[in-house]
Amino acid sequence: MMAFLAMVMFIALFAFGNTYFGWSDPGGKVQLALVSAFVFGIICGFRAKG
Protein backbone atom coordinates (compact mmCIF):
# COMPACT_ATOMS: atom_id res chain seq x y z
CA MET A 1 0.00 0.00 0.00
CA MET A 2 2.77 2.46 0.90
CA ALA A 3 4.68 1.66 -2.30
CA PHE A 4 1.57 2.46 -4.33
CA LEU A 5 1.10 5.74 -2.47
CA ALA A 6 4.75 6.69 -3.03
CA MET A 7 4.48 5.89 -6.72
CA VAL A 8 1.31 7.96 -7.13
CA MET A 9 2.85 10.90 -5.29
CA PHE A 10 5.99 10.68 -7.44
CA ILE A 11 4.00 10.64 -10.67
CA ALA A 12 1.87 13.56 -9.51
CA LEU A 13 4.91 15.64 -8.54
CA PHE A 14 6.76 14.73 -11.70
CA ALA A 15 3.84 15.56 -13.98
CA PHE A 16 2.08 18.44 -12.20
CA GLY A 17 4.59 19.73 -9.63
CA ASN A 18 5.61 22.78 -11.63
CA THR A 19 1.97 23.86 -11.94
CA TYR A 20 1.07 23.10 -8.32
CA PHE A 21 4.19 24.49 -6.62
CA GLY A 22 5.07 27.05 -9.30
CA TRP A 23 8.71 26.13 -9.79
CA SER A 24 10.52 27.01 -12.99
CA ASP A 25 12.43 24.05 -14.41
CA PRO A 26 13.67 24.81 -17.94
CA GLY A 27 16.73 22.55 -17.54
CA GLY A 28 14.89 19.65 -15.94
CA LYS A 29 16.97 19.74 -12.75
CA VAL A 30 13.98 19.53 -10.40
CA GLN A 31 12.59 16.54 -12.26
CA LEU A 32 16.03 14.91 -12.19
CA ALA A 33 16.17 15.44 -8.42
CA LEU A 34 12.70 13.88 -8.04
CA VAL A 35 13.70 10.83 -10.07
CA SER A 36 16.96 10.48 -8.13
CA ALA A 37 15.20 10.69 -4.77
CA PHE A 38 12.63 8.10 -5.87
CA VAL A 39 15.29 5.67 -7.14
CA PHE A 40 17.45 6.11 -4.04
CA GLY A 41 14.38 5.51 -1.88
CA ILE A 42 13.70 2.26 -3.70
CA ILE A 43 17.32 1.15 -3.28
CA CYS A 44 17.33 2.00 0.44
CA GLY A 45 14.02 0.20 0.91
CA PHE A 46 15.36 -2.98 -0.64
CA ARG A 47 18.55 -2.77 1.41
CA ALA A 48 16.60 -2.26 4.63
CA LYS A 49 14.39 -5.30 3.92
CA GLY A 50 17.13 -7.79 3.26
pLDDT digits (tens, 9 = 90+) for 11-40: 888 888 888 888 888 888 888 888 898 889
Judge whether residue 50 has pLDDT over 80.
Answer: no
Contacts by 29-38 with C-beta closer than 8 Å and gap 24+? 34/10, 38/6, 38/10
Delimit the domains of the chain by residue range. Answer: 2-16+27-49
Distance, in Å, from the CA atom of 34 to the CA atom of 25, rounded to the nearest integer, reads 12
> What is the reported pLDDT for 3?
79
> What is the reported pLDDT for 48?
86
